[in-house]
């Protein structure tokens, strides 16, 4: 067991300079303090480490063995310092993120593309999980931060909104033409007469929609429950029903004409995408820079 790292620092400096006085000058301590540290280390190890010569001090055989290990340790510490410096300068490092399918594609992917161009030596990895699983990974220290749909609460995590999103109902050609003939905007209870396609229960998005319907005294009874936003878009486009999706994520599809938004008399309240981090644990320089791009 290492009792006193200072003894080893003094030993290394004396061995490297070959002089008690030079070591004292470099370490900004007195020469008696240097001699005392060497004697303490020799007593602990049970052998002499130096002997005096006409040019100062030289290592004994045992001292040579110890120095070979201490020198390696110092080189490793210097390498560690350089590595930390590179990480602070964003020349090295890793960023570990947790997020669901939709957020990976629509929020993280665009940022990852620009981040990789700006910092090619930093490795970014994404673990694709639900909001609850992302929070668990964060608490276990397996990711640096998570990106989730809000609302979300956990007393051990810090939650920071980073952008606002809007849920809306969309229909493919099979239903959009019929809906166009009805009075707009449509009441939610009238929309419920059509087959609905929603995200599966247990997701933050589904909970948000269920609260929205309950606020109007209604209950959503979907004909299909799917696991991703992309599937919702595909099924709605194919005429399987009317899907509730995030408008910002469906813009391309609607611009191509494959889907049409259904205007509602009472729109779904907007919600937010949030960044979640573990309380009291600062982000690395690389993770901070990645997050900066998400919040700009």
Specify the residue for token string 């087959």.
195
- Classified by CATH at the fold level, domain 94-161+278-295 comes out as D-Maltodextrin-Binding Protein; domain 2 (3.40.190)
Q: Which residues contact 123 (CB under 8 A, 6 or more apart)?
A: 93, 94, 95
CB 247 within 8 A of CB 50: no
Note if the pTM is more than 0.75. Answer: no
pLDDT of residue 101: 85
CATH of domain 5-88: 1.10.10.10
Could you report the per-residue pLDDT of 41-58, keeping only the tens digit for each? 999 999 999 998 888 899
- Classified by CATH at the fold level, domain 167-269 comes out as D-Maltodextrin-Binding Protein; domain 2 (3.40.190)
| Within this chain, domains 5-88 and 167-269 share the same CATH topology | no
Return the number of other C-beta atoms located less than 10 Å from residue 25's C-beta: 15
pLDDT of residue 3: 66
Structure tokens at 98: 């947790």
Structure tokens at 41: 């280390």
Q: Which residues contact 74 (CB under 8 A, 6 or more apart)?
A: 12
Enumerate the domain spans of the chain.
5-88, 94-161+278-295, 167-269
Could you report the per-residue pLDDT of 102-133, keeping only the tens digit for each? 899 899 999 999 999 999 999 999 999 888 89
């Amino acid at each position: 067991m290492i009792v006193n790292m200072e003894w080893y620092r003094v030993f290394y400096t004396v061995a490297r300079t070959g002089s008690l006085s030079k070591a004292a000058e470099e370490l900004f301590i007195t020469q008696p303090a240097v001699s005392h540290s060497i004697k303490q280390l020799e007593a602990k190890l049970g052998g002499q480490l130096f002997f005096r010569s006409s040019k100062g001090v030289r290592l004994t055989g045992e001292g040579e063995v110890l120095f070979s290990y201490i020198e390696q340790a110092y080189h490793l510490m210097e390498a560690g310092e350089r590595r930390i410096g590179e990480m602070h300068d964003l020349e090295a490092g890793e960023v570990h993120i947790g997020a669901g399918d939709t957020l990976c594609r629509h929020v993280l992917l665009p940022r990852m593309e620009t981040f990789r161009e700006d910092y090619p030596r930093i490795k970014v990895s994404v673990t694709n999980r639900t909001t609850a699983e992302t929070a668990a990974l964060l608490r276990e220290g397996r990711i640096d931060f998570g990106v989730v749909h809000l609302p979300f609460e956990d007393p051990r995590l810090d939650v920071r909104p980073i952008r606002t999103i809007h849920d809306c109902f969309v229909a493919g050609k099979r239903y959009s033409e019929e809906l166009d003939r009805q009075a707009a905007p449509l009441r939610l209870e009238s929309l419920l007469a059509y087959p609905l396609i929603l995200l599966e229960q247990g997701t933050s998005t589904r909970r948000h929609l269920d609260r929205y319907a309950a606020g109007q005294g209604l209950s959503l009874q979907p004909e299909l429950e799917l696991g991703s936003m992309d599937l919702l878009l595909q099924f709605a486009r194919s005429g399987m029903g009317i899907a509730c999706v995030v408008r910002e994520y469906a813009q391309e599809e609607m611009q191509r004409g494959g889907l049409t938004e259904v205007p509602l008399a009472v729109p779904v309240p907007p919600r937010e995408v949030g960044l979640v981090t573990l309380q009291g644990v600062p982000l690395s320089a690389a993770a901070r820079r990645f997050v900066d791009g998400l919040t700009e």
